[in-house]
Structure 1
């Protein structure tokens, strides 16, 4: 099977904005672009695992991924999953794969869209105009130079208050973080096989259980689950596989970072990470996974 992309663009969006997205898709097709669009594939996906099919489409089958990011976008599991799949492809290709289009006044979590990533605003483009921009991107065309005055005027924006969004929920964020950590461990654990370790990462709605073995003996065990100090925290426990093994080795509470414009985790470490016990630190879910993984590697290297 060829690894060449079969679509120019893949559209990802929340259903509230289907009219604008569908109008843009039709304009793109009139310009000769091939668009990966869920509604067109209902019959082809009939009876198949649509999540797997979507991840394939929002991955290597397309040249560019276009998320139409709105207030509703990251609140819904399907667009969120599509975006996560696209981020992996973006990393594999060295960047430039994700072309964000922002709808309305939305604060985008920095761990999903860093500040340096340029995006277009839907309010500035009709569907036909946006399709033209996409055509230029796919064909490699560039815009003529802009007048300096226009550039300066466009860069002048009024300062707005940084507030916690009314729809931010620490409970929803806990679910997002739990599933994210589980997915990252499922992707990372198989890489240990080449070093002579076996491992599993069992993921459910209530728990992530990570186990690493060497010659049949468990050398690392981590359980992640909601609870701990309260129902608004995520607990981390080591060595629960052992008889009598229990205890909490860290806990994390989701908070909203107004400066970064997105959710973060306030982690209190006891002995999960290579830090002094009782130390608190604020980090993104990506930083947390990396810190836990690095600590896991340090511990199994001693075996």
Structure 2
């Protein structure tokens, strides 16, 4: 048996039935095929849908239209599992979902995807909203957008969010070494390019310290030491501008500590900057090792341009 195809399917709390029923009637009058609970002779979406109406999974629709009200959001789980599932789809910004906000409902920011568009029922009569739906369906049909199986959308929305964890094999010391090596390689590549501009640049490693020196006319124009084992801890990179000319190995113009950014899913460095970038003690700077080099080199160029 082939699946039934609809233009729109609606979900709502019972308190908004009068408005939704008027929208459904106006949409049908304009030729849309609408999946609506009363047409099935029972409480459909929002009422034990997943548990009792699995046969609906065989249906297809171009758009799912949840009428989101304070009551809709307040429905307990699992009694109204489908409402919760579709709010997840709204949160994810699924273009298949066209939310209509009812009354003065305030949808929590963590539920409404920042890039998803929505309409408010207060701005439209039922007939005017039906016209909006007709236009949306017409555009989708002209573009060849295919109806989606309701069951597929439910399964996608029900996918459990898993915790974002630091990988078990992540090592801040390995990342420290990787950053040190990356900075060395980048300086080795870029410093020779200063020669045509009248500068002599070199980088060398002395023990656990990377030393960058740039000269002009035999005078040091810029000096930077980057040492493993920071000013405060052995899991940091310590930055000392001016090298051994100012303060020996006990000074610090800033330090960076490797960590794993769980949101980004990648290792980064948290920078405490005293004067490397002239941010005057900022501790909220975070960089990948690639971004860190770019920032360092930009700062060096600024200093050389002042010579």
Shorter-chain TM-score bucket reads: 0.3 to 0.5
TM-score by length of 2: 0.47
> Whose Rg is larger?
2
TM-score by length of 1: 0.47
